[in-house]
Amino acid sequence: MTPGSRVHSLIDILTFFYDTALPADVVLVQFYRDHRFMGSADRKFISQHFFNFFRNKGKLDGLARLQGFKSTPYSEIMAYFFYVERASMLDLEEWGKDSSYSYGEIPIIVQQFMEWIRLQQDFEFTKAETLNVPEFFLPLLEQRFSDDLDDELQALNQPAPLDLRVNTLKATREQAIEVLGRTFTLETTPYSNLGLRLQGRPPVTSHVLYEQGSVEIQDEGSQLISLLCGAKPGMSVLDLCAGAGGKTLALAAQMENKGRLFACDVNEKRLQKAKERFKRAGIHNVIFHVLAEGDKWAKRHAQAFDCVLVDVPCSGTGTWRRNPDAPWRTTLESIEKVTIQQQAILQMAAKLLKKGGRLVYSTCSLLKQENEEQIEKFLTNNPKFSLRPIPDLWSEVGTDQPYKGHPDYAVFTPKTYGTDGFFAAVLERNE
């Protein structure tokens, strides 16, 4: 593809993104499915710049606001290449004339906008634009980070590393290091005793260890959540919001295929996908169940589990490193809606736990209303439960690194732990 064709493909993809409000990775998959013969170099270029566009969208919106410029996918991509990638006006003119597209000449208003940027005036960006988040997110995130807000959000706006979890049913971490190290540059994760961190974005899914189920792609923070569950062989364990099975896989390995492990979710397709992963990983102690309205399953399994993991649906603010488009797809209304779901799921989980059992509530959100506030509300309504201090459980993670954070709640962030953003609270049923 010519440079102009690549740029206009980005414009097409961004237009589709705005029209559908689908996640950026889903938009790219659909685009590549419709362009099966696109070369790998073209795909790499488009993917890199599409995600990088969202990592700079705050300032691009600010430039448009200051100039009184009406943003369109066409003008936004052109502004991105000029302001972020420092493309020349000549390049922009050539890309605008690409004969295979109907966009024609760069509109006069775009030229004026580019010229204004070229003058390098002092841009008075808002704090939200500088930190690359929608304005409504600032007070919510300030509740979490206070004086560390700038550094935390800058870390959250960087690309994430590629972490693997070693499946101990098939290999030790030392064995995985020996084999993977022949092909990739890697290091052990500092906190999870099962994790490996690869340099760059190598094609690990085509490696024999991945194909055989000896390693799984899983952020170190997600591994830590699974380890805090304390699952052991012979236990009865429930992953109530299993999704595609990432944390369930980790729990199954901890249980060494001994005991009962239930994986439940409302989405049958996601559970079906999880079954394929479990087969590859050599796991056979998992029972899958699709939760449906009016389902009697929970009633039949009241107080049946030693451990219940509740990895609830959330705003996903902790995953912005991997999903830089997410801030621009999230609304206050969607956050308020999901908090209602979270409390309902948490109440359901409480009925499924045995006396003395461990209930782990987790999110990939950094917002207090999805985390601490949910736990405080739950404890007010459920006096039979109490919090277990995280430092008392930290040895189960298998690290000699000290725990950093609140004694009652684990909050992992890119800045403090080098992980995605996660929250976890561990509760115990006392009677």
Q: Are 64 and 70 in contact (CB under 8 A)?
A: yes
Q: How far is CA 164 from the centre of its chain?
A: 15
- Dihedral sign for Cα 126, 160, 391, 223, please: positive
Could you confirm whether 364 is annotated as catalytic? yes
State the catalytic residue, choosing from 241, 264, 314, 364: 364
Is the four-CA dihedral 370, 379, 307, 221 of positive or negative sign? positive
231 Cβ neighbours under 8 A, 6+ residues apart: 237, 251, 254, 255, 261, 307
Distances (CA, A) of 213 to 170, 200, 206, 209, 238: 8, 21, 11, 6, 22
Distance (Å, rounded) from C-alpha 2 to C-alpha 211?
A: 36
Q: Which of 219, 159, 226 is nearest to 189 (CA)?
A: 219
Q: Is the dihedral of CA 313, 314, 315, 318 positive or negative?
A: negative
- Mind telling me the catalytic residues? 364
